[in-house]
Chains A and B, each alone.
Chain A
Amino acid sequence: MDLKYVGKTYIRPDAISKVTGKAIYLDDIRLPDMLHAVVLRPKYAHARIKKVDTAEAEKCPGVYKVVTGAGCKFRYGDNIKDLQPMAVDKVRYIGDPVAAVIADTPAHARAAVEKIVVDYEPLPVYTDAREAIKPGAALIHEGHEKYWRLPTLHETADSNIANTYHLHKGRGEEGFDEAEVIIEEEFNYPLGSCAAIEPHGTIVWFKEDRTIEVWSTSICPFIIREDLANSYGVPVGDVRVHTPDLGGCFGYKSDITTEQTIAWIASFAPGRPVKWVASREEDFTSTLLAHGIRTRMKMGAKKDGTLVALKSTIYHTGGAYADTAVNVTIASTHNSTGPYEFKHCDLTGYTVYTNTPAVGAYRGYGHQESQIATERMMDLMARKLGMDALALRKKNFLSEGKVNAVGETMWKHNGNLLECATRVEKMLFSKPKPAEDADYVYGRSMVTVMKSPKGAPFSTKGCYMKMNVDGSVTINMGGAEVGQGLRTIIRQIAGEALKIAPERVRVYTEIDTQYSPYEWQTIGSMFTTQGGRAIIRAADKLITLLKNTAAQVLKTDVDYLEYEGDYVILRNDPTIRVATAELARGYITDDGITIGDLAQSVSDARLPRYSNPDKNGQGSIGVTYTMGAQAVELRIEKKTGKILVDHFYSVFDVGQVINPLQIRGSVLGGVTMAIGAALYEEVVFDAEGHITNPQLFKYHLPTYKESVEQTIEFVETPDPIGPFGARGIGEHSVIGAAPAILNAIYDAIGVDLFEIPATPEKVKKALEARKEPK
């Protein structure tokens, strides 16, 4: 394909406002007569509330109102309505909102919140799914079987199991009778945090005209709009939600997080906007956490290396409310095959209530959590078979004609994983591994990964496009810019589709449900694919409209015309033409009579034939995949057990690179996050359910000095859905680091680790058990 603007680097349109400090993030918004809220969090992670005494707090200076959950009658949630905006009779985790103070300043609210006295009756605390799932465990949600939930979800009454998802392919577990070699192990990807540098925040304003206006650090303003309308009994159109600039998301600003709590609080200050911004501690304790997935995996193969059967059992420490965790569990479960074909699958995922903050989306959405198991198991299986680990992988790739776990047939256009793997193999093994020296022992490893989007039946993205009188174009969409660079991508795709320079395409700067086209939420690495398709559809409509007007102007039939960007021309005589700009408001003839429609169009796009899972847990629920290979070279400091990553390699088949600078930036950042998870990051709980490290100086994010040298390349096998053949890539880079690092540790010292983070303490211990790797 001959592309003019797609495939080239353009600088993001929001770069200037960000380097000048003029970009407006949530906490930068000041509204007239605004009040501030501070939320009280509980002393216990699981307790009955016996009494809340607010008398002293009410007397404090500047206090407008003290709010509790008393009288709250509604529950909310998109998948399971198990959430309440404020604790009513019990608290279920250490960040549950118990009460709040609304005051004139945040400082006054903070001082007053400390004067609220709560009497609790502590209950048993479970911070791990394995504990909470045991028979006889105290129930975190008594009677949860009565909650509304999506018809595709299956709770277990009188237990802490919020949902069980099961996938059956082929003969399921019976298929292991065809296997000649069987291995089984358990792996853990512990709780973590997205930890965007901008914490969560929300402003809610209940107005006297009974409309509700909201600003939030959220990538799903349309969900918030529908949710609040439902909770407060107003028409959906009467709730207006704004998304300002966002200081990173990585998942935990998707779904509904803190907005219902702040709305509940603000409903006690009608007529005035109420603002709340999370402290960093609250961002850890009281918004969404990530991962918390333990995978037990059994894998069966023939002696020649043909994989035949897979059994995965996933125990998800889903947190105190399962609404946001349940789909992470499901995605993790059916994607636990990795990029390999298994004839028989028996995959089960339990979403379990625990006394920890609710788990929600994190870049990767369940994939890295179960594929840490898959990719370690592939190495373990290869060792058992006496086979090269890469040869084993190649033999079983989900290549053309293979059928994945959910029953979808793979096509050539799903990507050339073999090419990705071959390139990484060359990069990694073209030079010998350094020999052990006095200080370090060296290891290296490569893995292959895949990711699907996680959609929903209505997960569409809308696009509104208008041509201005000078032929420039304005585009409005509902996609949230979180830093991924979608505004640049929109410009490039629209420029290509409309044959005009991207600089002449102006893109929206904020989302406002009053003006923005509908978008479900900007998740699942789907914006380029779906949003890009919506742009192309809108452009096609706009071009048809321009040609229809031009046909009248040029006195010919539409099918003799070509759209050339600046002009619509007669195909057999290009000198007969009309400037596109002259068609923008309809064409104004010399006598002032105007013909033709205003040059504007609306469209949307969803994943084609995306469906709910059927009774076997299968269906068209993946639709499009991006596959790739990743590898690591590392060294272990023998004295300390510290791991130093020397180099990281990634090659993904993305169909078509849209913007080389941005796509490299995306992978650089994703790999860095994943190395953080593999080596440093874990949200740690004590036995009482308190988080012991809810601060950035304790929760170790990768720093500048810890950044890793990376080689990043892309294969481009065009995708039939995405614009100009492009596929999703936003999340995929986070999948390979953890298993690659653990496999490389084995390569270095012959010891198998089964969980992350691979801290110096754990690696030091492993060094003591050191063996010659097989």
Chain B
Amino acid sequence: MAEKMTFKINGLDRTVEIEPEMMLIDLLRDELNLTGTKRGCDNSTCGTCVVVLNGKAVKSCNTLASKAAGADVITVEGLASGMELHPIQKAIAESGAVQCGFCTPGIVMELYGLLETNPEAGETEMTNALNKHLCRCTGYEPIRDGALIAQKMMKEHAKAK
């Protein structure tokens, strides 16, 4: 039975109809056409579907869409403000962390979930977060570089404010 659900997606209130077994990834990709969130596996292993739900990075492929009721969901499409990229996006673009780019949205959102709530995240937290994501292109070093640059940029932004 389809049910109505209201939630905030990338800053806008939306009311959608969802089936009880629908996953958040399907709501985002198929109903809302937010195709920046990717599907790379069948069993919540690869991490490329990660979005931020109420400030926390979650895998949208194993999160029921109904979990988003009344919640605040941010996807990769919601990070930039107009033409201005989020520092995480800037850093990831410039560090060499992007090759094929298919794992990128998930990694960007993972870092957003981590660094927005914990700007001082240390190596262990960073490593544990990034270890949830598979990348076949980069060997991970440029992703680590990008994450560290992003953290630095975000701290500087916060100071400037």
Q: Which residues of A contact B (CB under 8 A)?
A: 11-12, 14-25, 27-28, 30, 194-199, 245-250, 279-281, 482-485, 661-662, 664-665, 668-673, 695-697, 701-705, 707-708, 710
Contacts and interface: CB of A to CB of B under 8 A. Distances in A.
A710 B39 CA distance: 30
Contacts of A15: 93-94, 98, 101
B157 to A, nearest CB: 17
B99 A199 contact: no
Contacts of B90: 19
B104 A704 contact: no
Contact of B139 (A22, A482, A671, A705): A671
B77 A197 contact: no
Given A19-B92, A248-B136, A661-B96, 19 more contacts: A14-B98, A15-B94, A16-B85, A16-B89, A16-B93, A19-B90, A19-B98, A20-B89, A21-B76, A24-B35, A247-B38, A665-B99, A665-B139, A668-B139, A671-B139, A673-B136, A696-B40, A703-B134, A704-B130
Interface in B4-48: 29, 33-43, 45-46, 48
A571 to B, nearest CB: 41
A199, A483, A664, A670: residue with the most chain B Cβ atoms closer than 10 Å: A483
A701 B93 contact: no
B80 interface: yes
B79 A20 contact: yes
B137 interface: yes
Give the interface size class of chain B: 35 or more
A701 B134 contact: yes
A668 B138 contact: yes
B96 A664 contact: yes
B100 A20 contact: no
Given A28-B35, A662-B96, A199 B136 contact: no
Interface stretch (B62-70, B114-122, B140-148): B140-148
A665 B43 contact: no
A422 B140 CA distance: 28
Contacts of B130: 704
A354 to B, nearest CB: 26
Contact of B99 (A20, A280, A483, A702): A483
Contacts of B104: 18-19
B127 A704 contact: yes
A408 to B, nearest CB: 32
B130 to A, nearest CB: 5
Interface string B78-116: 011000010001101110101111111100100000000
A17 B92 CA distance: 12
B131 interface: yes
B133 interface: yes
Given A247-B101, A484-B99, A672 B140 contact: yes
B75 interface: yes
A503 to B, nearest CB: 15
Q: Sorted from nearest, which 5 A-B pairs have the closest CB atoms? A: A21-B36, A247-B102, A483-B100, A18-B101, A668-B139
Contacts of B36: 20-22
Nearest to B21: A107
A194 B79 CA distance: 31
Nearest to A19: B89
Nearest to B91: A19
A707 B40 contact: no
B135 interface: yes
B104 to A, nearest CB: 5
Contacts of B103: 197, 247
B134 A248 contact: no
Contact of B102 (A19, A25, A669, A695): A25
A20 B42 contact: no
6 contacts: A18-B101, A19-B104, A25-B35, A27-B38, A673-B136, A707-B144
A668 B46 CA distance: 20
A744 B43 CA distance: 35
Contacts of B134: 197, 696, 701, 703
B93 A280 contact: no
A196 B99 contact: no
A710 B139 contact: yes
Nearest to A671: B139
Given A196-B100, A701-B134, A27 B94 contact: no
Contacts of B35: 21, 24-25, 27-28
B139 A250 contact: no
B89 A707 contact: no
A704 B45 contact: no
B121 to A, nearest CB: 14
A20 B77 contact: yes
B99 A485 contact: yes
A695 B35 CA distance: 23
Contact of A482 (B37, B75, B85, B100): B100
A695 B45 contact: yes
B100 A248 contact: yes
A20, A198, A672: residue with the most chain B Cβ atoms closer than 10 Å: A20
A705 B131 contact: yes
A326 to B, nearest CB: 26
B40 A199 contact: yes
Given A19-B93, A28-B35, A668 B142 contact: yes
A673 B139 CA distance: 8
Given A30-B33, A197-B134, A707-B141, A696 B45 contact: yes
Contacts of A21: 34-37, 75-77, 105
Contacts of B40: 197-199, 247, 280, 696
